[in-house]
């Protein structure tokens, strides 16, 4: 995987209809590659999970192509109603996390605001014929009619991909679940809501351990909420969680059963010259991701992505400005609620680059070694294979150059909140409203 500032990105595929009238249920709400990058899952606001599989020809062609075909689609969550609280529970999928593969089947966790489900996705290409006790259509045969024993035979059939729920983990969260993360031991996982983090065993559905609880005894004293949580990729006893106050806490489960006392606190001191009415809102961390090596982590706040070294708590070692030109627009972004948008961020497979989204269907790629950055657009008019992506520029005032877009012309309804990077190749998936765009490096 090359250093990323030198990569030329080109269009590979777009999934989903390109019509303008989009139903709310079709809006993509999460994107996740599995551990080898052969499968890519998306969840949407209608509670559906769609799994795409890497096209084997595109994977082995020279030059290789990052193309995916629909592999399985299933309804993961349905809308529910909490009668005790008179609350509707949306079916929207908040997060999907893959488990590492141990056998021919694939397993993934999906969650809405309240309920986490473990799904098994398996293939069937053979069927059994010639049962003794039942007919081919499944109806039971009359025992009086069975005069001879038959040996059932296995016949080939058209490939079927089945998704079946294996476990349902429910009733453990009072508030909305914002994160799930599978531990490196592949036996436990965490789920986090605004005030608590629970630890589950994948085999046990009726109990979980509360490992972080920041709920004050008096809710009027509430000053912060948990915004994201993730396990360390290698050390199964470590986890991090971020807060709306712009801090990240690292917890060690070996120190105590309840991780209310963190081992490390990562926080950047605020610059008093930049202080404004919006300071607290824009410093809230919307996403935190540990690097694949486990040495670093990135945090995304409203205007920037910061890289932290787990050995240094005082300040980030790198800071990348995603869309600093929006500083002058914070007032109108507050009025239209965009300032509360939760952008995610992700690492490239070798930790050399970072990707995150912006408005106007722009997404940003930062190369850590060359310090170059790119603004690219997930746009329909480039939807032809091998089309090179032209870097986009936003101008803030004065005369606008031919290929620039004015900050006043940005469309704040088009936003890239969810992105994913293939674990070992330069193939990225970008969710733009109801479309999934796939881009790859032009080799």
pLDDT digits (tens, 9 = 90+) for 272-286: 877 888 999 999 999
Structural domains in the chain (count)? 1
Cβ distance 432 to 414 under 8 Å?
A: yes
State mean pLDDT over 125-137: 82
Distance CA 432, CA 16 (A): 10
What is the chain's alpha carbon radius of gyration, rounded to the nearest angstrom?
A: 24
Render pLDDT for 321-368 as a digit per residue (tens, 0 to 9): 999 999 999 999 999 999 999 999 999 999 999 999 999 999 999 999
Render pLDDT for 63-79 as a digit per residue (tens, 0 to 9): 778 899 999 999 999 99
State mean pLDDT over 149-159: 86
- The whole-number pLDDT of residue 303 equals 96
Distance CA 37, CA 68 (A): 10
- The whole-number pLDDT of residue 2 equals 46
- For residue 284, give the CATH number of its domain: 2.130.10.10
Q: Which domain holds residue 28?
A: 4-441
E strands of 59-187, at which residues?
A: 68-75, 80-82, 87-89, 95-98, 106-111, 116-129, 153-169, 179-182
Render pLDDT for 158-217 as a digit per residue (tens, 0 to 9): 888 999 999 999 999 999 999 999 999 999 999 999 999 999 999 999 999 999 999 999
- The whole-number pLDDT of residue 385 equals 81
Q: First vs last Cα of the chain: how many Å apart? A: 11
Helix-strand-coil split of the chain, %, nearest 5? 10, 40, 45
- The whole-number pLDDT of residue 199 equals 97
Cβ distance 20 to 37 under 8 Å?
A: no
Q: Does residue 33 surpass a pLDDT of 80?
A: yes
Measured CA to CA in angstroms, residue 275 lies from 270, 271, 282, 284, 309 at distances of 8, 7, 11, 14, 26
Q: What is the DSSP string of 370-395?
A: T--EEEEE--GGG-STTPBPPPPEEE
Q: What is the DSSP string of 323-362?
A: -GGGGGGHHHHHHTTGGG----EEE-TTSSEEEEE-BTTE
Distance CA 337, CA 331 (A): 10
């Amino acid at each position: 995987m090359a250093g990323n500032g030198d990569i030329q990105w080109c269009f590979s595929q777009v999934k989903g209809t390109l019509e303008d009238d989009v139903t709310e249920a079709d809006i993509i709400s999460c994107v996740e590659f599995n551990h080898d990058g052969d499968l890519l899952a998306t969840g949407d606001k209608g509670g559906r999970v769609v799994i795409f599989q890497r096209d084997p020809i595109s994977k082995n062609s020279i030059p290789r192509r990052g193309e995916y075909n629909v592999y399985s689609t299933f309804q993961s969550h349905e809308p529910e109603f909490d009668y005790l609280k008179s609350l509707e529970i949306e079916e929207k999928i908040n997060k999907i996390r893959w488990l590492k593969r141990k056998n021919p089947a694939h397993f993934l966790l999906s969650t809405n605001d309240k309920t986490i489900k473990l799904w098994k996705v398996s293939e069937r290409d053979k069927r059994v014929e010639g049962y003794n006790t039942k007919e081919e259509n499944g109806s039971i045969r009359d025992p009086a009619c069975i005069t001879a024993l038959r040996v059932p035979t296995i016949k080939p059939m058209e490939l079927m991909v089945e998704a079946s729920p294996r476990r349902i983990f429910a009733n453990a969260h009072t508030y909305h679940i914002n994160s799930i993360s599978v531990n490196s031991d592949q036996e436990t996982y965490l789920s986090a809501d605004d005030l608590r983090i629970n630890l589950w065993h994948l085999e046990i559905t009726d109990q979980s351990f509360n490992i972080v609880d920041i709920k004050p005894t008096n809710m009027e004293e509430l000053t912060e909420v948990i915004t994201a949580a993730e396990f360390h990729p290698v050390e199964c006893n470590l986890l991090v969680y971020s807060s709306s106050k712009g801090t990240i806490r690292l917890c060690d489960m070996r120190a105590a059963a309840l991780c209310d006392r963190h081992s490390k606190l990562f926080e950047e001191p605020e610059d008093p010259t930049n202080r404004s009415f919006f300071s607290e809102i824009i410093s809230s961390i919307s996403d935190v991701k540990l690097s694949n090596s486990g040495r670093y982590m990135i945090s995304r706040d409203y205007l920037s992505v910061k890289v932290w070294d787990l050995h240094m708590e005082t300040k980030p070692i790198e800071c990348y400005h995603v869309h600093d030109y929006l500083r002058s627009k914070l007032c109108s972004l507050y009025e239209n609620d965009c300032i509360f948008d939760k952008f995610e961020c992700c690492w490239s497979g070798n930790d050399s680059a970072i990707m995150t989204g912006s408005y106007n269907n722009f997404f940003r790629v930062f190369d850590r070694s060359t310090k170059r950055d790119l603004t690219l657009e997930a746009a329909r008019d480039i939807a032809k294979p091998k089309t090179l992506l032209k870097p986009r520029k936003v101008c803030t005032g004065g005369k606008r150059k031919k290929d620039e877009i004015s900050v006043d012309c940005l469309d704040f309804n088009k936003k890239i909140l969810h992105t994913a990077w293939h674990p070992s190749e330069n193939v990225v998936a970008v969710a733009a409203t109801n479309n999934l765009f796939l881009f790859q490096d032009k080799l």
